[in-house]
Amino acid sequence: MTAVEIAVEVVGWAGALLILLAYLLLSAGKLTGQSVVYQGMNVVGAAGFTINGWWHGALPSTALNIVWMGIGLVALWKITQRRGSST
């Protein structure tokens, strides 16, 4: 395996772990869906999945994770807008 291939696998596995950890913390009541940490974990995790999926030619997975990232980014934007308007 080349260094690039290893990096792509590490990024993909890190993305998977981030998304799973975010869901675990949400399910355990440690985070909420309106948490910047939760949404950030999902965005970064989806980015890792997107890179890995694209590299391997898994277009459905890549597309799904681009949408997942977009949802997270919109949620982060709305969270920051609400916080800015409440001060």
The whole-chain average pLDDT of the chain stands at 96
Range of the domain at 71: 3-85
The whole-number average pLDDT for the span 8-14 is 98
Enter the DSSP assignment of 84. Answer: H
Handedness of CA 61, 47, 45, 7 (dihedral sign): positive
Residue 21's Cβ-side half-sphere holds a number of Cα atoms within 13 Å equal to: 14
Please tell me the total count of domains within the chain. 1
The whole-number average pLDDT for the span 9-19 is 97
Q: What is the pLDDT of residues 22-54, one digit of tens each?
A: 999 999 999 999 999 999 999 999 999 999 999
